[in-house]
Chain A
Amino acid sequence: DGSLLFQQVPMVEIDGMKMVQTRAIANYIAAKYNLYGKDLKERALIDMYVEGMFDLNELFMYYEIQPADKKEQHFANMMDKATNRYFPVFEKALKDHGQDFLVGNQFSRADVQLLEIILMAEEFKPGILAKFPLLQSFKARISNIPTIKKFLQPGSQRKQPVREEDVPKVIAIFY
């Protein structure tokens, strides 16, 4: 019925708009609720961090739908990228300024998305934060924010990891 601008999901009805495109939606919500830094430069830094996280998220997201002969290599690659490319950047950021949040000493979308990517990584490898002490305390700290704590409990809108039996269905729909 034309509700999906590019015939794709996600689509979120918000403030009279039928918004599509994940990043557009996330950008709008972040800006509206003051989770996007206080000026252009903080926003730039948040964007850089968040884009890195999106890249890692994509690797995680595509793992389940890899063909069997590619799965092992994909897994090794995504774990390598998490521990050698992405997590060190965020550990260093926290170390360099010694503050509780990634950017501007204030809670932002970068913190939310980092928590999310940490939790996803741990689903694949529970001890993945072993060498990242600041990320471990970051994880605990952000998880304790009341709204986030509630979201992480059973019964919330949070999606479960993809189940193996659903993978063929996903492939059939999207590929």
Chain B
Amino acid sequence: FQQVPMVEIDGMRMVQTRAILSYIAAKYNLYGKDLKERAWIDMYVEGTTDLMGMIMYYPFQPADTKEKNLALIIERATTRYFPVYEKALKDHGQDYLVGNKLSWADVHLLEAILMAEECKPDILSTFPLLQAFKGRISNIPTIKKFLQPGSQRKPPTDEKFVAVVRKIFNI
């Protein structure tokens, strides 16, 4: 569709973020053990996607709406999204969001938490289980490595990047 991202994988040139992530999740057993677990993972992932979408667009908002947008992001994170995941962890008391096993939903939530903390460092202050979750998932060796400098992880958006993006995408 003339868009990025595009990932060359298993002989396919895959496009569409969700399609790519779904494929990788299913291939590497990060998508639950049955349809119902997959449904829960999908619901959770869509929620974190919505939150991350808000944070992603934030640097590109016009200057006069930035403050309001940041307030909305923080409000949504702390009253709509994080409570859901805190409750999920509380209700089953397990280490992972779905099916007592690491899944796409856990990776995605960690990413959303890290992005939200870039907006407000103490944003998890009222979510003890999410704090523990963050510590736990960050310690998974592959994830721990990815979070260290020198990995493929992208840095937070800075002003220079904003200018380049605006130019390329004409926004």
Q: Tell me whether A149 is interfacial, beta carbon within 8 Å.
A: no
At the interface with chain A, which of B14-22, B119-127, B139-147?
Answer: B14-22
The interface size of chain A toward B, counting residues with CB under 8 Å, comes to 29
The answer to whether B19 touches A51 (Cβ under 8 A) is yes
The answer to whether B12 touches A44 (Cβ under 8 A) is yes
Mostly helix, strand, loop or mixed at chain A's interface?
Answer: helix
Q: Within residues 1 to 40 of chain B, which ones have a CB less than 8 A from any CB in chain A?
A: 1-2, 10, 12, 14-19, 22-23, 26-27, 35-36, 38-39
Q: Tell me whether A169 is interfacial, beta carbon within 8 Å.
A: no
A-B contact count (CB 8 A): 73
Q: Within residues 34 to 91 of chain A, which ones have a CB less than 8 A from any CB in chain B?
A: 40-41, 43-45, 47-48, 50-52, 55, 85-86, 89
Q: What is the CA–CA distance of A42 and B84 in the complex, to the nearest angstrom?
A: 33
Q: Tell me whether B111 is interfacial, beta carbon within 8 Å.
A: no
**Footprint of A on B, CB under 8 Å?**
1-2, 10, 12, 14-19, 22-23, 26-27, 35-36, 38-39, 42-43, 45-47, 50, 80-81, 84
The answer to whether A52 touches B1 (Cβ under 8 A) is yes
Given contacts A6-B80, A15-B36, A44-B22, contact A51 B43 (CB under 8 A): no
The answer to whether B18 touches A23 (Cβ under 8 A) is yes
Partner of B22, one of A7, A17, A47, A86: A47
Q: Tell me whether A124 is interfacial, beta carbon within 8 Å.
A: no
The smallest beta-carbon distance between A108 and chain B, in angstroms, is 14
Q: Tell me whether A19 is interfacial, beta carbon within 8 Å.
A: yes
- 8 sample A-B contacts, Cβ–Cβ < 8 Å, listed by A number: A23-B42, A28-B38, A31-B38, A44-B19, A51-B18, A55-B1, A85-B1, A86-B1
Q: What is the CA–CA distance of A22 and B42 in the complex, to the nearest angstrom?
A: 10
